[in-house]
Amino acid sequence: MHLQQPVAARTGGDPIFHTYIEFTNRMLTFALMVVAVLVMVTAWRFRPAGTRRRAIVWLAAAQPLGVVAQAVLGGIVVLTDLNPAAVSFHFLLSSAILALAVTLWSRCAEGDGPATRLVRADLRVLSVVLVPLVALMLAAGTVVTGTGPLAGSTFVPHAGRGPAYVPRYHLPLEGVTQLHADIGWMLGTLAAVLAVCLQLTGAPRRVRRLGWLVLGLVGLQGVIGYSQYFSGLPAGLVWFHVSGSVLIWIAALRLMFATRDRGPVVPAGGPVVPADELRRVGRPLTVPAET
């Protein structure tokens, strides 16, 4: 009977480099859980106006719950011998947890007042549409990875069992790659239109910068993707491609949140933010009434 090693131990047919990557990933889970729990406790104690902010508490609670869910799903990935569907859900769940973390970060820096647009209504809509389009691109990317050869062709899970083939999606690689590229072109076009229109309509500086950042990241991601395609899918470029997709996801979420404002976070008994300061940061000229 095979017993799972609690330390990094090499299995037959599996490079030791891969083993240490997997072991490091498992160890980082514990550190991440500690940070997530501290975030949840901090959110529970965060009462800038004397009352607890429920939305922030729920967003913070999702962090440790997400880590637990990822650990469970990671075990399923291993037990199913890297089934592409399980791997896809593993990455997409990470993206969902990251989206909640970005939302938490944004909500902590603003009040609980009604949302006020900082840009034109159509540009606000485009910034919102950008987010599900990025999510669709991430999902399509996992299908391309699960169809192609990047996960390897054979491996030996345990010594003495002989080679086992990594399961793949039974889809045409050229077709799913083309679909992924088409979504990328749609995303790039939308990002370009949004960045230019934000610049021409005089949107707040922070919003304009985020618009150009999204466009630049999408363009760089396209260069990496086509480099992978025309160079025979070298495994080393996967690191950059995955990192780029995560950066685009974060930037798109931040851009969406930056196009609206819920007012400043005013501590109980704290000073009211002056109007000229609100103008400088691009917030609407509204301040909470004194009580």
Of 101, 29, 33, 93, which is closest to residue 64 (Cα–Cα)?
33
Q: Is the pTM of the predicted complex or chain greater than 0.85?
A: no
pLDDT in tens, 52-78: 888 899 999 999 999 999 999 988 988
pLDDT of residue 18: 67
The predicted pLDDT at position 101 comes to 95
Maximum separation of any 2 CA atoms in the chain, in Å:
75
Token pair of 65 as six digits: 């719950």
| pLDDT score of 7 | 41
The residue ranges of DSSP E strands in the chain, in sequence order, are 116-117, 154-155, 164-165, 260-261
Q: How far apart are CA 20 and CA 10, in angstroms?
A: 9
Q: What is the pLDDT of residue 21?
A: 77
Round to whole Å and give the CA distance between 109 and 248: 21
What parts of the chain have a pLDDT lower than 50?
1-12, 153-156, 158-160, 162-163, 268, 272-279, 281-291
Predicted confidence at residue 2, as pLDDT, reads: 37
Whole-number pLDDT of residue 150: 67
Between helix 84-108 and helix 121-147 the angle, nearest 10°, is 150
Phi, psi of 67 (to 5 degrees): -65, -45
Q: What is the pLDDT of residues 81-121, one digit of tens each?
A: 888 999 999 999 999 999 999 999 999 888 888 889 999 99
Looking at residue 17, what is its pLDDT? 67
Q: What is the pLDDT of residue 164?
A: 55
